Amino acid sequence: MALSEFTLINQYFNKNVDAAFPAALGIGDDCALVDIPPNMQLVVSTDTLVETVHFLSNSDPYLLGHKSLAVNLSDLSAMGAKPAWVSLALTLPKADDNWVKEFSKGFLSLAQSHSMQLIGGDTTQGPLSISVTVMGLLPKGKALKRSGANVGDGVYVSGTIGSAGLGLIKAQQTATDASDEDLAQYLKPTSNIDLGEQLLPLASACIDVSDGLAADLTHILNASGVAARVFHKNLPMSDRVKEHIEELQDALWPYSTGDDYQLCFTLPKALTNDKTIAELTANKSITKIGSIEAGDGLTVVLPDGSEKTIDKGFQHFNSSASETSHDK
């Protein structure tokens, strides 16, 4: 017998959590009620993941539950916000008890790790899609934005670039090795919440890398009215990604793959020798890849000294955009 939507919600999603900011009223009424602490601002972001567009049809439900929240947490990290609440709208082809059970475990496990409370949402029938709205908090007027980059600022990225894109290729080839680092980057991305909070008083601009480094860095450049020069030799990549580039004979491949869910940010030149930045670099996997210049556009300096101007990344409304990737 198929479970009703209310049974699914109560059985798998209406769980007690150790929330950092407990809601005044959570699941079970027409709306949730939350209290915003004094001198704080509410940060809100929504992403929808659609089967065969953002994830493969054979995706593991536990990992999909994790990823559907992780990609939204990435947006909060880009603003420097602390996670507080989340709502989930789940559209299912059928009420598959085992699938929902595993999905909820992946979703709520990550929420709990950030002391984040699920406060509502919706469950309905239709083609499989997952819409998540995350809410976070930060000091009023202190949010990291895309529009603050200035000439002379350094351009930095966290983690490595291109690994998740390589993981997608492996997933499309039905690879399932849970120990494969590329697959792990694609199927179970980690959040950069701690780094985002650390950057709050330091960075001049920030964005999460979901649609490809070139496209997302270009968003910063356009919003700030500046240009950037990035040196390919400085781009942090795994040996496997470097090998893949060699096979493709395409050095620009990692700039457009997407799904990295790393942070790309700018730091004022005055902070280059700052002790705080030195400590941040020592304790976090962040790399300076270039600098902000006057003008417009993104220029990549290749190992042979040649330069390429690029801005392409994943776009939903694009005839060449096909299955399975990328947020936004």
Between helix 239-248 and helix 163-172 the angle, nearest 10°, is 70
CATH homologous superfamily of domain 154-309? PurM-like C-terminal domain (3.90.650.10)
Is it the case that residue 232 has pLDDT exceeding 80? yes
Residues 6 or more apart whose CB falls under 8 angstroms from that of 53 comprise: 316, 323, 324
Give the CA-trace dihedral at 10, 11, 17, 21, to 10 degrees.
Answer: -30
Per-residue pLDDT tens over the stretch 97-108? 899 999 999 999
- DSSP state letters, 306-319: -EEE------SS-T
Hey, where are the domains in the chain? 5-139, 154-309
Distance CA(118)–CA(116), nearest Å, equals 7
Is it the case that residue 239 has pLDDT exceeding 70? yes
Distance CA(197)–CA(77), nearest Å, equals 7
User: What CATH number matches the domain at 5-139, 3.50.50.60, 3.30.1330.10, 3.40.50.720, 3.20.20.70?
Assistant: 3.30.1330.10
Say how many C-beta atoms besides its own lie within 10 A of residue 1's C-beta: 5
Q: Which of 56, 54, 127, 69 is nearest to 103 (CA)?
A: 69
Q: Is the whole model's pTM more than 0.85, yes or no?
A: yes
Per-residue pLDDT, 301: 97
Is it the case that residue 318 has pLDDT exceeding 70? no
Is it the case that residue 278 has pLDDT exceeding 90? no
